[in-house]
A and B are shown apart, each in its own frame.
Chain A
Amino acid sequence: MTELLGKLYHNGFYATAAILFLTGFYIVLADNHLIKKVIGINVMESAVFLIFVATGYVEGGRAPILTAPPGPGGYINPVPSALILTGIVVSVSVTAFSLALVSRIYQHYGTVDVDELARRRGPEP
């Protein structure tokens, strides 16, 4: 048991990422609120960002600015951070777009609840 906890502690980033990913996934699939689904997507993406950035992290490392002295652990790997910057931009645009769609849905139907939406839409258009 202590061994398992120790392993979890040393892989804290990965364990947290797995929990966040599943939480986000669950919210997207199970929640009926359209905006909460968007939030779920964001939680899920944060998990992926976390695990990606963690792969480049070095204990005690500093950002690799070559004119500054390295930290006690040397430099961290900058590639994952740079990639995730792109990932965050993508995620922000997707969030903005989906929120815009939700507000349109609200204008058309007057609700953001999935069940209510199905009721107001009627059986088949």
Chain B
Amino acid sequence: MTSPVSHLGVLVVIVPLLAAYCAELPWQAWRRASLRLATVTAAAVFGFCVLLAAQVMQKGALLYAIGGRPAPWGIEFLIDPVAAYLLLGLSGIFFLVALFAEDELEAEIGEAGLPHFSALYLLLEAALLGLVATNDLFNTFVFLEISAIAAVGLVALKNDRLSIEAAYRYLILSTLGSGAFLFAIALLYAVTGHLNLEYLKQALAPALASYPLSVAAALAMLLLGLMVKAALYPLHIWLPDAHAAAPTPSSAILSGVVVEAYALVLLKLVLHLFPAPVAASSAWRLPVLWASTAAIFAGSLAAIREDDIKKMLAYSTVSQVGYLLLGVGLLSRSGLLGSLLHVLNHAVVKAMLFLAAGAIIRSTGRRRVSEWQGVGLQAPLPAAAFAVGALSMVGIPPLNGFISKWYLSLGALEARMPLYLWVVLLSSLLNAAYYIPVVVRCFLTPARAGLKAPSRPASATAPLLVLALATLLMGLFPSVQLGLVGRTVAAWAAR
């Protein structure tokens, strides 16, 4: 436990946490530098994650006891292949969005807001990576709360009436979700006496026999809490305003990473923790499937009606959360695989879409999609990135959105619920109905007389390029991702 390499698992959380406090240093000259600090920290964390992933590939899952106090008393971090895969992806997106923010953010929130953004951004990164890594139920709650406060802060940064109101609604609903989640922890602790996930899991099977009601109530509260946080329909009402009112880099992170992380916690806890008869029970699976289906359709239909590009993307997120949880409800191997792959696939694509939309709004001054004629000529690179993202969301091969939908469809068949195959297919048409016209309008209609696009600095275009490339590569070589997560998912599905 002496070499710094052996502490990588916890550095991933501690480094951004400490940097977050440094970002708020009060000197005026520091304001812009704080944003650079965020980028450098995010880059370093990404580096740690690469090393971690390499270690996990070599030696298998890493268990880290914080402060050297082993479970069941201490808090543990568990970096298994799935966690390593997600840490890598999420920290990469954090780095790219920070890079983008360096150039674009000041125009949106002013110089004085930059240190606040950097601090909240790093706090959020620490909390979300912690959520993925932790193996302790109460620690999960603490990270959930840190991430909620940081995410609400990122929405409120713009400080205009819309974003403040959206932030308030987000905070209240998110806290309702946390309350339900903590209630579930209390029930689980009461029947098992453990908080470490591994011990909890082992104690839960006998506890189920003696206290079936408490365990069922815990599962219900857990699902309710996380479904509010992940914005699963009809608990999504806070999402569109919050994600649309936030500054562009915040929206990219909120829609691309935060919601996914919560859906992932749901997946991890429900599948890993609960004994087989409860985990496979249709009493929770059917409601989740219905809610996902409703989310997929309602989100898309709302997006079709929406003219404001950021709101349209936010409603698209509502429908994508439906896909994330559809596979969880199907509970077949391919369905779970589809959900897990969709976490990162959607994260990459939605982050790119928001950044591209932000860049287009910035260079053309047009936020309404109906005014995007010929935007592809004025801002070629953001518009091209937007087009790639849009096609991926529709599910056109070989982009990564296709891979998620492919596995979800297979999952529906494996679970003998072919109805949901139709859900996936039909919803792809709906996705096409609002994404494709935007792309067509961007490139195939003559430009309206308008502003000339300013030339974009290299660091603002680089994140878009990398994300677009990732979208393509993740679609072309899905076997890399499958190799990382395949075994864990098979273990989940077998239970």
Contact = CB atoms under 8 A, between A and B. Distances in A.
A125 B166 CA distance: 13
Interface string B152-185: 1100100111101101100110011011001101
B253 to A, nearest CB: 19
Interface residues of A, number: 34
A69 to B, nearest CB: 24
Residue among B168, B176, B186 having the largest count of chain A Cβ atoms under 10 Å: B186
B171 A48 contact: no
B221 to A, nearest CB: 10
Contacts of A8: none
Contacts of A76: none
B171 A55 contact: no
B229 to A, nearest CB: 14
B270 interface: no
Contact of B182 (A25, A52, A55): A52
B278 interface: no
Contact of B161 (A37, A41, A83, A109): A109
A115 to B, nearest CB: 14
B190 interface: yes
A94 B142 contact: no
B189 interface: yes
A10 interface: no
Given A48-B179, A55-B190, A41 B149 contact: no
B233 interface: no
B138 interface: yes
A87 interface: yes
Interface of B: 138, 141-142, 145, 148-149, 152-153, 156, 159-162, 164-165, 167-168, 171-172, 175-176, 178-179, 182-183, 185-186, 189-190, 195
28 contacts: A24-B179, A25-B179, A28-B172, A28-B176, A38-B172, A44-B179, A45-B175, A47-B183, A48-B182, A48-B186, A51-B183, A52-B185, A55-B186, A55-B190, A80-B186, A87-B141, A90-B145, A90-B178, A93-B149, A94-B149, A97-B149, A97-B152, A101-B164, A105-B161, A105-B168, A108-B160, A108-B161, A121-B165
